[in-house]
Amino acid sequence: MPLARTQLESLLRTRRLDRTLTTALPGAGLDPNGGRDFAPTGIARLDALVGGGLPRGQMSELVGPRSSGRTSLTLQMLASATVRGELVALVDALDMLDVESAAAAGIDLDRLLWVRGHVVSNPGLCRDMNQRALEQAIRALALILQAGTFGLVVFDVAEAPPDAVRRLPFTTWLRLQRMVEGSQTICVLVGSEPMARSSAGLTLRTGIRDWGLGMRFGNRLFEGLNVQTRVVRARARVQEDATVALTTVATNCA
Amino acid sequence: MPDRYAALYKPPQEIEGSAGLSGPRSGGPERAALQTIAGDFSPRYELHGDDLVSIDVSGLERLLKVREGCPARTIGEELRRGAHSRSVRAHVAVAGTRTAAVVLALARPGVTIVERGEEAAALADVPIGILSSLKSQVSSLNSMLETSDFKLETFSRWGLKTLGELAALPDADLVARLGPSARVWQAIARGEDIRPLVPTLAEERFDASIELEWPIDSLEPLSFVLTRLLEPLSTRLERRDRGAAVLHVLLGLVTRESHARRLELPAPIRDVRTLRTLALLDLEAHPPPAAIDRVTIVIDPTPGRVLQHALFTRAHPTPEQLSTLLARLGALMGQDRFGAPAVVDSYRPGAFAMVPFATNHYETTIERRARKARRENQVENSASSASSAVNVVSAVRRCRHPVPARVAVVGGRPVRVTTDRRGFAGGTVLRCVGPWRSSGHWWAGRAGQAGQAGRENSDNPNAPLQPIQPIPPILPWDRDDWDVSLNDGAVYRVFRDRETDAWFIDAIVD
């Protein structure tokens, strides 16, 4: 059905006319995804939860307490992206990546650009050095996002003191969101609590499922975690507070 | 259309009776001398090895004072004189076809002149053995005759002694006996050109230099100077379908010294902006010690890349984009703080290596199929795991500098872990598994460089910790590892150094 003049003008204002010329619009009107592309995480349950995967051209967050499965999920996302043939980048603010874990997760290490922050042996005693390391990592992240050549960029500050992350200006995240907007890059912030606030499109929170039984210890080996991932914030097409149960398996138990 | 050719042949050390029948000789200066001589007469010349050159001299008689009404002889004499002035003793031949000129230059000393249309007659009495040296001299002839299934000795066995006898054979019968390549031999014997002259291009230097009226001592004005020098170089590279493989930046300083930088580029690049950015980033990291009053850029060229984009796969970033990004990251973080991780063949927990991040990620067909197979396998595992509980591989976060810990041990098992590190408060051990003993690199020397902290911790949980130095990766290790779950909800991998009896938090299971 041909579009009315008012509809066309509305689409022009919102810069969505390019899609209307090439694809048929549903009867309800605009694409509920806002024309956004999604990249699967490689975990079918999680992809179903978030409507297909992580949104491209948007910042997403993966937050949770220590030992809640954040790192396992992050490495799985990186592996899925490299298997798709994309280049990925990891800005490791505190230099905590375990390369063996990355290889075990299936990441094509040749496609991973690993930026290692400067580690201070006891960062807690010197807040200034910690803050400088964080700001340097932010600058590295900005360079990588500006280059626009990576399919997935992860900014890992999961073990950084929360107050150091809170001290970053709010405009930092707005600026980074602006860099990634409109591109095919997925930017994932990994932390202990949400940091990007309104700049983030999708926020996932991880936690231990079945407290007390969530950490599986065998007779002689640690076997893995029972994790629950919950959607804290989402922009479209995803039901907030929806959860999915995941399980991590230690490689020595495989 | 060219109608007159000349050929110069510099014979090897003269041997009685063998002029023109010997093989090629190599020699850079000889090649350069012949190239210079040929270039003096015509821009269209082709080098065949280091001692033979053919030149298109059509129209040259208009520039020379023709003597005795014979332009060909005038050209021949001028060529001989030009060679003599450069101390090159060469055979010169001028003919209406390039093939005839080359054969006659190889066969006869001195100056040989053949008028247009008389090539066959001039070549008639040339010994047939000349074809052997011709084959080794003229590389294009080799490619055309590679599939020849007969040898030149066949002609000798037939009793042919001169090119004239070969030319006189009926061509249909010759081809019927020896194949299509025999037609080429016969064309040579008749002095007929089998291919046009392919001009040899002079080697071109890609360099530019500028003297500054006022010295500059910062990089910002240098950026404009570099742009000015790089733009014409980039245009010339593009015209020659070349890219820069190595970029040399030579800065003349006011102290009469020079500051030279050499950048090896990851891929042929000719984009001005990229070259300028890389040069500036390098100079930022290695600034000149004084003000600059002269800037020279030299580019080592290399053939340009041919990119074949696939229709159904994602386009990869160009090497220019990646190399610029990596240069910026190096300037920000340091060259040793980024790259691609690599697994090393070691039993040491947390061992890894860093390799340079590749800027060219072009996949071969085999690699693409292997990646597609991994992807299908991953999708299959993900789908099958939708109904099961297994989803992801468990990972750890490695403490690059293990955190000193105080561990209370009861019955040989840790029951409480505490630290002085902010963010690692510790707590009571709820569950634990272990120990796993590992050791290695014992041949490197004394172990236990981790320090003395924690030696008495098992007896006094409240004793203050001493600061420790980070552990270098090459030191030997001998330790017992435990996985412990604390009441604060964290799961750690801790280890006891058996040398010092000190405890550390090595990784966080996450």
What's residue B152's pLDDT? 72
Going by pLDDT thresholds of 50, 70 and 90, the confidence category of residue B70 is confident
Determine, yes or no, domain membership for A69.
yes
Classify residue A14: in a domain, yes or no: yes
Q: Is there a contact between A91 and A191 (Cβ–Cβ < 8 Å)?
A: no
Per-residue pLDDT, averaged over B418-436, amounts to 88
Q: Is B480 on the interface with A (CB under 8 A)?
A: no
pLDDT band at B104 (very low <50, low <70, confident <90, very high): very high
**3 state SS of B336:** coil
**CA R_g for chain B:** 38
Rounded Cα distance, A250 and B432, in Å: 15
Cis, bond preceding B435 (omega within 30 deg of 0): yes
Is residue A31 scored above 60 in pLDDT? no
Domain-located, residue A117? yes
**Average pLDDT, integer, range B456-463:** 43
Q: Please determine, for residue A38, whether its predicted confidence score (pLDDT) is greater than 60.
A: yes
What is residue B202's DSSP assignment? P
- Mapped onto helix, strand or coil, the DSSP state of residue B19 is coil
**Model confidence at A156, in pLDDT bands (50, 70, 90)?**
very high
Chain B contact set for A229 (CB, 8 A):
none
Kindly provide the ipTM of the predicted complex, given to two decimals: 0.81
Query: Letter for the amino acid at B32?
Result: A
Q: Which domain holds residue A144?
A: 2-199
Does B508 contact A217 at a Cβ distance shorter than 8 Å?
Answer: no
Q: Each residue of B162-180: pLDDT tens digit?
A: 999 999 999 889 888 888 8
Give residue A252's pLDDT: 59
How high does pLDDT run on average in chain B? 81
| Residues B282 and B219: beta-carbon distance below 8 Å | no
Cβ pair A53, A68 in contact under 8 A: no
Handedness of CA A109, A115, A120, A125 (dihedral sign): negative
Structure confidence at residue B467 as a pLDDT band (50, 70, 90): very low
CA distance B159 to B169: 12
Distance, in Å, from the CA atom of A191 to the CA atom of A165, rounded to the nearest integer, reads 9
Check CB contact under 8 Å for A108 and B371: yes
**How many domains does chain A contain in total?**
1
At A164 the three-state DSSP class reads helix
Please indicate, yes or no, if residue A224 is contained in any of the structural domains: no
pLDDT of residue B22: 46
Q: Is B360 on the interface with A (CB under 8 A)?
A: no
Q: What is the pLDDT of residues B9-59, one digit of tens each?
A: 988 864 344 444 444 444 567 778 888 888 888 889 988 888 889 999 988
Contact in structure between B382 and A42 (CB atoms under 8 Å): yes
* Rounded Cα distance, B363 and A174, in Å: 36
CB B473 within 8 A of CB B413: no
Instruction: Give B334-346 pLDDT, tens digit per residue.
Output: 888 999 999 888 8
- Candidates B398, B388, B500, B386; CA nearest to B454 is B500
Q: Provide CB contacts within 8 A for A65, sequence distance 6+.
A: A192, A207, B489, B490
Give A124's pLDDT tier (boundaries 50, 70, 90): low
Shortest distance between the Cα of A138 and any Cα of chain B, in A, equals 11
Q: Is the pLDDT score of B457 beyond 50?
A: no
The position carrying tokens 């992240």 is A141
The reported pLDDT for the residue numbered B62 is 82
What's the pLDDT at B425?
A: 81
Confidence at A71, pLDDT banded by 50, 70, 90: very high
Contacts of A71 in chain B (CB under 8 A): 395-397, 510
A187 lies in some domain: yes
Mean pLDDT of B53-68: 82
User: Which CATH number is A109's domain given?
Assistant: 3.40.50.300
The whole-number pLDDT of residue A236 equals 58
Query: Does A129 fall in a domain?
Result: yes
Q: Which residues in chain B are closer than 8 Å to A246, comparing Cβ atoms?
A: 391-392
Give the separation between CA A135 and CA A132, rounded to whole angstroms.
5
Name every chain A residue with its beta carbon within 8 A of the beta carbon of B333: 115-118, 136, 140
**A226 is a domain residue:** no
A96-110, A116-130, B492-506: least confident range:
A116-130
Q: B510 vs A70: CB contact, 8 Å cut-off?
A: yes
Question: Which is nearest to A184 in space by CA: A140, A149, A236, A142?
Answer: A149
Of B332, B422, B433, the CB nearest to A124: B422
* B197 band by pLDDT with thresholds 50, 70 and 90: confident
Indicate if the pLDDT at residue B240 is higher than 80: yes
Does residue A107 belong to any structural domain of this protein? yes
